[in-house]
Amino acid sequence: MQIAKITVVVTSLVAIAALTTGCGAKRESFDVTIAYVLEPTEALPEGLTTVAVLDAGTKIDGSEDDDRSKKWAKIAADEMETLITEAAKKHGSPLTIAKRRETTKIMAEQDMKAAGLVDAGTAAQTGKLLDVQALITSELNIRVEVKEGKKSTFDITHIAAAAGHGWGAGSGSMGAREADEISRAMMLQCKFAMVDAATSDAYLDYTSSFRKHDHKSPGAMFGRSASEASLDSVDMAIGDLVMQGVREFVSTFVPCEVTYAYHLESSKNEASAAGVAALRADDHETAKAHFEAAMTQDPEDHRSVFCMGVISELTGDWEAALKHYRRVCGMRGVDKDEMAMYLDAKKRVDAHKDRIRKAK
């Protein structure tokens, strides 16, 4: 009888472990950064050598305070200055920039509006004061939406031991309960312009929008409620979107290095896990072979397909990357967070592949 008791307890513990950890191969993960230089799409007007960046105007739909809006406006202007300066130093761009410290000081002394659209009179006055041929103006419209929901989770309430010494008989109960989950959607709409400092005529107009979605759900077992505090800082998330928008704009008129980060996770397939591990070690050929094996075993293994797209980017095969991203975006059974990442990658490569500077 004692042996039977031990068997029951061990069986229960194995069942709990299986429910808690799942089955299959150990999942592998890797945070990868893709970087390249974009060639400009527009030629600078003849004679244009110096520009001034004005602080962005910021509109927020939500409860964010004025200090945050000023911070994001400063992030946008600072990043523009950095990218234009780097383009001159690293890539031979002829464009120079009036230092923002002096620009801000002069604008404040003259009590002039430093953001938004510049009319002809203001543009001429500002350009003369700053000794520049062009002004860069911008407007950021930010929207943050937070939604709360419920998710079913399971709670093992007890594993009771029978009376006496030794292991005991062992029994357990597992009940369903609801826990809070949280999701947040952020959208940034950017409006940028480069205008003639003498006439306020626009050399360049750029409008685009960028989105980011994140959420936290309780685990299936022992799940605790998630709250907005579980998510990354909203400042960090919006800051990333602002940086992305600025880089896209600046890259239209000077060479610009852009970076994109993705969190990769393997599927439950052993070959997929081996592929991520090889990718983490920068062994691209081995990683590619593992992902191809995983995709052969399961043609709907979307995580391996996406990783194949990432490898293609890392090795400079942009057409292959787009092919893999298009494929993964057509797959079913993908959660909305991963699909957002896949769609973003497809859109980006489709827009950039013909502008990427080839390695010398």
Tokens of 162: 């029978």
- 230: DSSP letter: G
According to the model, what pLDDT value does residue 62 have? 54
According to the model, what pLDDT value does residue 290 have? 98
The list of the chain residues with pLDDT below 50 reads 1-22, 63, 109, 114-117, 119-120, 151-170, 174, 177, 218-232
According to the model, what pLDDT value does residue 21 have? 44
- Name the residue with tokens 């999942």: 27
Domain positions in the chain: 24-33+262-355
According to the model, what pLDDT value does residue 131 have? 80
DSSP characters over 191-228: EEEEEETTT--EEEEEEEEEEEEEEE---SBSPPPP-G
According to the model, what pLDDT value does residue 24 have? 53
Handedness of CA 357, 358, 359, 360 (dihedral sign): negative
According to the model, what pLDDT value does residue 20 have? 44
Pick the CATH number of 24-33+262-355 from 1.25.40.10, 3.90.76.10, 3.40.50.850, 3.40.190.10: 1.25.40.10
Q: Tell me the pTM.
A: 0.72
According to the model, what pLDDT value does residue 200 have? 79
- 356: DSSP letter: B
- What is the crossing angle of helices 284-297 and 270-280, to 10°? 160
Please state, in angstroms and rounded to a whole number, the distance separating the CA atoms of residues 240 and 162: 56
Please state, in angstroms and rounded to a whole number, the distance separating the CA atoms of residues 32 and 344: 15
214-263: pLDDT as tens digits: 655 544 444 444 343 443 467 777 888 888 899 999 999 999 999 999 99
91: left (phi over 0), alpha (psi -120 to 50) or beta: alpha
